[in-house]
Amino acid sequence: MVSVRPLALIAREITSEDIPVRVLIEGADPHHYAPTVSDRAALERSLLLVWLGPQMEGVLAKQAALLPADQQLQLLDIEALEFEGASVTDPHLWLRPRNAAIAAAQIAERLARLRPQQAEFYKTRAREFSSSMASLQKVLDRALYGYRQVPIVVTHDAYGHFFGSAGVKTHALGDGSGGGHGAKAMLELSGIGDGCLFGDMPANDRDQQLAENLGLRYAALDLLGDQLGEDANYRDLIESLLTQARTCLSQVPDRNKE
């Protein structure tokens, strides 16, 4: 059992076909999602719950607290996670391939303890995924590096995980807790220049109006992979986010050529 779909994409890189991966929170805000009666029963039966932590799934934390420690894996407890260019309090760790590799290694380690007869299989899968993620991180960083001078405003802190490793600075209007955008933040960003405002999917009039008020272009990014097909993998998520970001970034004039 995983809390949100991106964690399923990571977990499936490790699990064998005989371990189905179920997503608990679909079509709902992870911050405020409360498990149903059937969800609670499924959690109790699950081999392992993989979730981020109370910083992301605050209501789920109450149910997770009832599970034995060896039946759950809280990813935000991992000390090795990388936060360069991102807020150290933001929980959207899956948006950075290197963090996805770290999470996968932890999943593999926990599954190896729960199913020791398949331990080497899980660890091998984790090593292969880590190598793949190192390459994907380099591709992502190279693709974004040229946009370091482009003003990028984001609706909340999560996007720092995606852009930060490439040295691309993001200006957040909020902290991702679901609150509104402060007037002070809006005033500070007024006249920031020709750039992009990124918000969550689905695209909406509110974020579009925000972009227009700030003189920015606008694009929505599918952070949770809701628009991906059923057979999508983690690499598909990152590549789709890059494509979505480029739909806006590619329209901004190259400052180096001015």
pLDDT, one tens digit for every residue, the chain (258 residues) = 999 999 999 999 999 787 999 999 988 889 889 889 999 999 999 999 999 999 999 999 999 999 999 999 999 999 999 999 999 999 999 999 999 999 999 999 999 999 999 999 999 999 999 999 999 999 999 999 999 999 999 999 999 999 999 999 999 987 655 445 554 555 566 667 899 999 999 999 999 999 998 999 999 999 999 999 999 999 999 999 999 999 999 999 875 434
Q: Single out the residue in 142, 159, 183 at which a domain terminates.
A: 142
Burial 211-240 (b: 16+ CB within 10 A, else e): beebebbbbbbebbbeebeeebebbebbbb
Q: Residue 219: which of 177, 167, 169, 159 has the closest Cα?
A: 159
Give me the CATH number covering residue 34: 3.40.50.1980
* In a shared domain, residues 67 and 158: no
* In a shared domain, residues 214 and 253: yes
Tokens of 192: 């920031």
* Sign (positive or negative) of CA dihedral 87, 92, 98, 103: positive
- Is residue 75 within 8 A of residue 132, CB to CB? The reply is no
Q: Single out the residue in 120, 142, 164 at which a domain terminates.
A: 142
pTM of the model: 0.92
* In a shared domain, residues 22 and 134: yes
* In a shared domain, residues 10 and 108: yes
State how far the Cα of 214 lies from the Cα of 196, in Å rounded to an integer. Answer: 10
Tokens of 129: 């995924």
State how far the Cα of 247 lies from the Cα of 236, in Å rounded to an integer. Answer: 17
C-beta pairs of 65-72 under 8 Å, 24+ apart in sequence: 67/43, 70/110, 70/113, 70/114, 71/46, 71/47, 72/48
* In a shared domain, residues 153 and 94: no
Helix (H, G, I), strand (E, B), or coil: what is residue 81? coil
Find the angle CA(123)-CA(125)-CA(131) to the nearest 5 degrees: 105
The residue written with tokens 């934390």 in the block is 61
Q: Single out the residue in 84, 116, 142 at which a domain terminates.
A: 142
- Is residue 107 within 8 A of residue 73, CB to CB? The reply is yes
- Is residue 76 within 8 A of residue 93, CB to CB? The reply is yes
